Amino acid sequence: MTYSIVARDETTGTMGVAVQSHFFGVGRLVTWAAAGVGVVATQAMVERRYGPRGLELMRSGRPAPDALEELVADDAEAGIRQVAMLDAAGRVGFHTGHRCVAAAGAAVGDQVCALGNMLEDARCWDAMLAAYRATAGPLAERLLAALDAAETAGGDIRGRQSAALLVVETTPHAQPWEGVVCDVRVDDHPEPLHELRRLARYEDAYRLLGRALFEPTDGDAFDEALSGLEAAQTILGDNPEPTVWRGVLLARAGRAAQARQAFDRATNGRPHLAEFVRRLPGAGLLPPDWTV
């Protein structure tokens, strides 16, 4: 019911999975990942257990091909499943059941697997793999390029509706929400890939914002935080949130005049945002004597 790709970046070790489908909320079904462990795409007539069970087996040290082989052998309906798994070492396992709706198949390369079913054309998975290999930049961008290529080659024969992108770090983390580089989903949209790209850019902006607010900002880090907020503001356009927090950082650093300039730009014509800034001293986020 979809097409997807799992991959590991050869340079950074980050791992990701991306998907598009004519089905509501495909991301909650297909995409699974854990930092330092691996990623899973489980699709066709989806059996979600391939996701958490596959990650559990890979976390215990099982190579992705072996983990998938075990799960397929234990699935009485394996003929209607399509699954790809990739572990932290870049090993790939994939399965396309003999009863998956055509066109169904996969293309496998070094540390990457593109797969799909219910597709208009069997060229889709090869197109994904070629686009992934030809695209430079962060893993998320390469995965998005692969999805675009599949859509150009025909995509889901039923149309398009939802998409998702999930990327995790190479280092294991104690908590499942840690080590997530990108996690965006489009549950229902006439152009899900366009919307997925927009959300991925927004997530980049809010990651920059979060680093500026919650990571140490002394010395060079302070200048980096301000630069990050400027970059975030460029991405978000009319949304003045990064400029508000730029003002907060400047005020904390004792650069009152620059802070007021930032607040003036952010709150101009936005009385509710101005009131929000007035409430920040009470929360300890601005000096107690700060006034707008």
Per DSSP, the residues of 225-279 read HHHHHHHHHHHHTT--HHHHHHHHHHHHTT-HHHHHHHHHHHHTT-HHHHHHHHH
Residue 244: per-residue pLDDT: 95
Among 143, 172, 189, the domain boundary falls at: 189
Residue 267: which domain range?
Answer: 215-283
User: What count of other Cβ atoms lies within 10 Å of the Cβ of residue 74?
Assistant: 10
Residue 217: per-residue pLDDT: 58
One domain, residues 126 and 163: yes
One domain, residues 11 and 134: yes
One domain, residues 256 and 146: no
One domain, residues 48 and 169: yes
One domain, residues 127 and 219: no
Q: Is residue 207 part of a domain?
A: no
Residue 212: per-residue pLDDT: 80
CA distance 17 to 4: 7
Q: Is residue 184 part of a domain?
A: yes
One domain, residues 93 and 185: yes
Q: Is residue 243 part of a domain?
A: yes
CA distance 20 to 162: 6
Q: Is residue 292 part of a domain?
A: no
Bridge-based pairing state of the strands 81-87 and 92-96: antiparallel
Q: Is residue 288 part of a domain?
A: no
Stated pTM of the model? 0.92
Q: Is residue 202 part of a domain?
A: no
One domain, residues 166 and 32: yes
Residue 58's identity, in one-letter code, is M
CB 37 within 8 A of CB 137: no
One domain, residues 133 and 227: no
Q: How far is CA 277 from the centre of its chain?
A: 31
One domain, residues 181 and 234: no
CA distance 150 to 129: 9
User: Greatest CA span in the chain, whole angstroms?
Assistant: 70
Residue 221: per-residue pLDDT: 82
One domain, residues 82 and 171: yes
> What does each of the 292 residues of the chain score in pLDDT, given as a tens digit?
799 999 999 999 999 999 999 999 999 999 999 999 999 999 999 999 999 999 999 999 999 999 999 999 999 999 999 999 999 999 999 999 999 999 999 999 999 999 999 999 999 999 999 999 999 999 999 999 999 999 999 999 999 999 999 999 999 998 888 899 999 999 999 999 999 999 999 999 998 888 887 765 566 788 888 999 999 999 999 999 999 999 999 998 889 999 999 999 999 999 999 999 999 999 998 988 887 6
Number of compact structural domains in the chain: 2
One domain, residues 89 and 228: no
- The H or E element that residue 18 is part of is strand 15-21
One domain, residues 27 and 155: yes
Q: Is residue 210 part of a domain?
A: no
CATH number, domain with residue 107? 3.60.20.10
